[in-house]
Amino acid sequence: MSIAKTYTPADVEAKWYERWQEQGFFKAKPNPRKPAYSVVIPPPNVTGVLHMGHMLNNTIQDVLVRRARMQGKEACWVPGTDHASIATEAKVVALLKEKGIDKRDLTREEFLAHAWEWKEKYGGIILEQLKKLGASCDWDRTRFTMEPELTDAVLRVFVDLYQKGQIYRGIRMVNWDPQGRTAISDEEVIAKDTQAKMYHLRYPVVGQEGQFLTVATSRPETIMADVAVAVNPNDERYQHLHGASVRIPLLGREVPIILDEYVAIDFGTGALKVTPAHDLNDYELGVKHKLPVIDILNDDGSLNEKAVLYVGQDRFAARKQITKDLQAAGLLDKIEDYASVLQTSERTGAVIEPRLSMQWFCRMDQMAEKALAVVENDEIRLHPPKFKNMYRVWMENVRDWCISRQLWWGQRIPAYYLPDGSFVVALTDAEALEAARTQSGNPDLAPGDLRQDEDVLDTWFSSWLWPISVFDGFKDPDNPDISYFYPTDDLVTAPEILFFWVARMIMAGLEYRKEVPFRNVYLTGIVRDDQGRKMSKQLGNSPDPLDLIAQYGADGVRTGMLFSSPAGNDLLFDIRLVEQGRNFTNKLWNAFRLTQGWEVDASLPFANEKAVEWFGAKLQSAQTELDEHFAKFRMSDALMTVYKLVWDDFCSFYLEMVKPAYQAPIDPETLRHTTAYLETLLKLLHPFMPFITEEIWHELAERGAKEYVCVAAWPKPQPLTNATDILSRMEKALEIVAGIRNVRNQKGLGPNKPLTLAAKTDEAALLRDYDGIIRKLGALSDVSLTDAAPAGAVSFVLGTGEFFIPLEGHIDLAAERERLTKEIEYARGFLASVRQKLGNEKFVQNAKPDVLERERQKQADAEGKITALEQSLAAL
C-alpha cells in the first residue's frame, strides 16, 4: 500500500465532507430507538461572513454533535441564518445608493424586492463557509428567521402577548440610531472610550443683573431642549437661588431652578441642565417634577423647528456653531477635556441619541422571574457557573423590551390603525378588519380604511423563538420533530448575549412549551489578539479564517482554536496555536505511516506484553478523564487529554517501545493491539479532527459502505482491575529512562550511543519485568544489579534506588573531574557569600520577608547542588 509521505489537508477535506453528506450521516429524524441529541445554531446574520468568533463557536458545537452521534444518539444540529433587520437594510440601502437609487424614492414593496434579491444572492455565504470548517449540520433543516413559517410564528406570538397584556404601545426613552433612523436594543449599542469636551455655560439668573449660574454639559447643542436647571438643596453655594429662574443662553427662554438630591454636589459645577427629551436620567427627573418635554431632534439627528436656533443643521455641526456663538456672547466660561464613553450603534457606527419615542414594548418582569428560577435551580446549567451571578443581576433589574424598529426589512408589526387613531392587533388583514368593525361599531369599515403599522419587529423577537420555531412548534405544537428534539440539549454562545438572546429564549420556552429550551449553555470567550484586543476587520488584527484553513487545514485550525479556550474566558489567539494544531495532524499521520511500514512475521511470539498492557491501562484512564471533561464542558481540557495521550503516550513512548529494529519484522499480536489502539485513538480524536481521522480510518483497513469513523461507536472505558499498579510500575520504568536521557544530555553523549546501567535498588523485579523497555528507550547494551558504585560512573537517584552509568571510554574522565571540581569551587564561593549575608544581623532584621526567603532558598539550592556535584566527583 502506497501512503503519501506528508498529509495534505486540501487533498482530503472536500472529499470526506462530500462523502459524509452523500451517506446522510448529518441528517436526523425522530427515532424512538435512540436517545435524541439536538443543538440549534446561534443563527449568524445573513450579512455575515465567517470570522474567528464563528470559528470557535461552531468548532465547539461540532465537537459536541459529532461525539453525540458516535455515542449512538440521534444527533440533530439545526443550521440557519438571522435576517438581521438593521444590518441587512443598511447593506441594501448602500447597494441601492451605488446604483443611484434612494430608498425614499421606493415603495415598501419595491424595497423589499431588492432586499430579498440581496438575501438570495449573499445570505447563504456563511453557511457554505461553515462546511469548510467541517460543521456537521443537518443542512436539509436550514431555517431563516424571515421565512413564511417562522414569520407566522413571530406574528402569532406578538398577537398572543398583546392579548395577554404583555405587549403595549407607548412613549418611552429608547436608543436612537440617527443614521439607521430606528430605535435599537441595548445589545446593539457599543460603548467606546473616547476623549470628550465638557462645556461650562453661563445661564443668566432672572432678576439678578450680572449674575450667572454655570452649568457643565458635554452636549451644548441640546440646551434649546432644556426645561429646568437642577441643584442639590443641600448645596450651600446655591441656597440664594432656591425658587429662582435662569435664561437659556442665546435662546433667552426662562426655565426654573429646581431642587433635587439626585444632583451630585461634587460633580461638575453642581448644577445640572434638565433635558428630558434627550437623556434618560433627565427624563425620569422631569417626570418626578412634572416638567414639559421638548424634542429638538429629527429622525436623522438634525435640529428641528422646536430648537428655534440652528434648525436643519446636523447635531454635531450645530455643536460647533453654538460653541462659537456662546464664546462670542460671553456665555462660555471654559472648555475642559475629559475621559468619556461614547455610545455607538453596532450596525452603523453612528453616535446613539437617547430619545423619547412612540414604540412597542414587551413587559419582561413576570417572564424574567420564571427564567431566573430555572437557572438558579440548575434546571438550565451555565458553563462556567460564574455567569449565574451576571444572569441574576440582569434578570432582577430587567426593563421592558423595546420591540419595534423603524425599518422595512423584518416582520411587520400586526397592528392596524383606524381613521380615528385607535388600533387593533390581528394576525391577518381580514381578522384586523373584523376586529376594527367590532371595536368601532362601524360595520361599513372597508379594508382601505385601515393602515398597518409601518414598523417591523426587533430581530431578537424572532430569534428568541428559535429553538421552538425551527422545529415548527408554533405551526403544530405536537409534531414529531418538536416532540422528539425539544428541549434541545446544549447551546453554545457568547456571554455578551446571555441576557439579550439566551434569557429571552428561556422566557419563550417556558411561556410556549412550559419547558426550558435547552439543558446546558456553554459560554465561549471572545477571540482576542496577543495585545488583548477583540479581533475585528476594522482593526485589521483578524486573520481570514478561510485563509487559515487553506494554509493549516481545518483540523489544524480547529485544534488550534481549542488549545486555549476554556469556557467563559477569552482566547488570546496566537498563530503558533494553529501551527501546533497542524503539527499535531502531521504527528498523527507519521504515527500511522510508521505502523503501516512494519512487516509481520507470523512465527514471532508476542514480544511487547508490558508495553501493550501499559498503553491499554493508559487509554482507559484517559477515556475516563475525557468523558469527565465533556460532562463538565471543559472542552480545552478534553482536547489536551487526547492530545497528550496521542503525542506523548502513544507516539513518544508506546510506538518507541514496540517498534521493531530497522528492517526487522514485528509479531502479529503486537501489531494487532497497536492497530486497535490507533483505531480507538481515531475515534477519540474524530470530534476534534474529523478530516484526518476519517482519512486514516479508511487507509487503515478495508471498510464497508457505512463504516466511517464519523459514525463509529464512541469508545467506552473498560477499567482494568490492576490498572493503577500497571501505570505505577511503567511510570517508574520511564523515570529510569528519563534519568538515563538526562545523563546523555548533560554529558553530550547523543541519544543512540550504547551505554550500560547498574542499579542499586530493591526493585529488582521491576528491572527484570521492564528490562526490554528500559534497554530500548535508554539505548542500553546491558542492565545489571550492583551493591556498590562502579568506577568512573555518574549516578542519579530515584526513590530509594541509585542508578549508575559508567562513563569510562565515553568521556575524558580527567577533564570531567576538573570540570566538576571547578563547579564545586564556584558553588562553595557562592554559598559562602549567601551565608555571609544571612549571618549579618542588620540585614536579617531589615530585609523584607520575601527577600529573606529568597536568600534562604539560594542557600538551600547551593547546598543541594554542592552535594550532587561531590557525589558525581566521588563516582568518578
Name the CATH code of domain 545-720 (choices 1.10.10.60, 1.10.730.10, 3.50.50.60, 3.40.50.720).
1.10.730.10
700-748 confidence digits (pLDDT tens): 999 999 999 999 999 998 877 889 999 999 999 999 999 999 988 887 7
What mean pLDDT do residues 529-536 have?
A: 76
Are 778 and 740 a contacting pair, CB within 8 Å?
yes
Closest CA to 374 of 481, 518, 523: 518
Distance CA 522, CA 691 (A): 25
pLDDT at 798: 84
752-777 confidence digits (pLDDT tens): 888 999 998 888 899 999 999 999 99
pLDDT at 320: 96
pLDDT value at 589 more than 90: yes
Least confident among 50-64, 259-273, 685-699, 862-876: 862-876
pLDDT value at 538 more than 90: no
Closest CA to 586 of 675, 658, 646: 646
Crossing angle (nearest 10°) for helices 9-23 and 554-562: 90
Q: Please give the DSSP secondary-structure letter assigned to residue 761.
A: S
Q: Strand 415-417's sheet: what is its strand order?
A: 423-425, 415-417, 451-452
pLDDT at 9: 95
672 C-beta neighbours (distance < 10 Å), count: 13
164-178 confidence digits (pLDDT tens): 999 999 988 889 999
Instruction: Give the CATH H-level superfamily of domain 196-344.
Output: Valyl/Leucyl/Isoleucyl-tRNA synthetase, editing domain (3.90.740.10)
181's CB contacts (< 8 A; 6+ apart) are: 299, 300, 406
Distance CA 545, CA 642 (A): 24
Distance CA 802, CA 278 (A): 81
763-775+783-875: which CATH topology?
Answer: Helix Hairpins (1.10.287)
Q: Give how far Cα 402 sits from Cα of 182, 397, 405, 502, Å.
A: 11, 15, 8, 17
pLDDT value at 1 more than 60: no
360-406 confidence digits (pLDDT tens): 999 999 999 999 999 999 999 999 999 999 999 999 999 899 999 99
Distance CA 462, CA 143 (A): 12
Closest CA to 207 of 250, 243, 244, 236: 244
8-46 confidence digits (pLDDT tens): 999 999 999 999 999 999 999 999 999 999 999 999 999
Residues in the chain: 876
**Average pLDDT, rounded, for the chain:** 92
pLDDT at 178: 93
Distance CA 822, CA 421 (A): 100
pLDDT at 483: 97
Distance CA 589, CA 695 (A): 10
pLDDT at 568: 61
620-649 confidence digits (pLDDT tens): 999 999 999 999 999 999 999 999 999 999
DSSP H helices, 73-198, are: 85-98, 108-122, 125-133, 148-163
191's CB contacts (< 8 A; 6+ apart) are: 341, 342, 343, 344
SS3 338: strand
Distance CA 405, CA 86 (A): 9
Per the annotation, binding residues for ATP are 537
Helix (H) or strand (E) holding 6: none
Strand duo 490-493 + 520-523: pairing:
parallel
674's CB contacts (< 8 A; 6+ apart) are: 595, 612, 654, 655, 658
Q: What are the extents of the domains in the chain?
A: 196-344, 545-720, 763-775+783-875
Per the annotation, binding residues are 537
Distance CA 678, CA 696 (A): 9
Q: What is the dihedral of CA 146, 151, 155, 156, to 10 degrees?
A: -150
CA 804, 805, 806, 807 dihedral sign is: negative
- Percent above pLDDT 70 for the chain: 98
pLDDT value at 539 more than 80: no
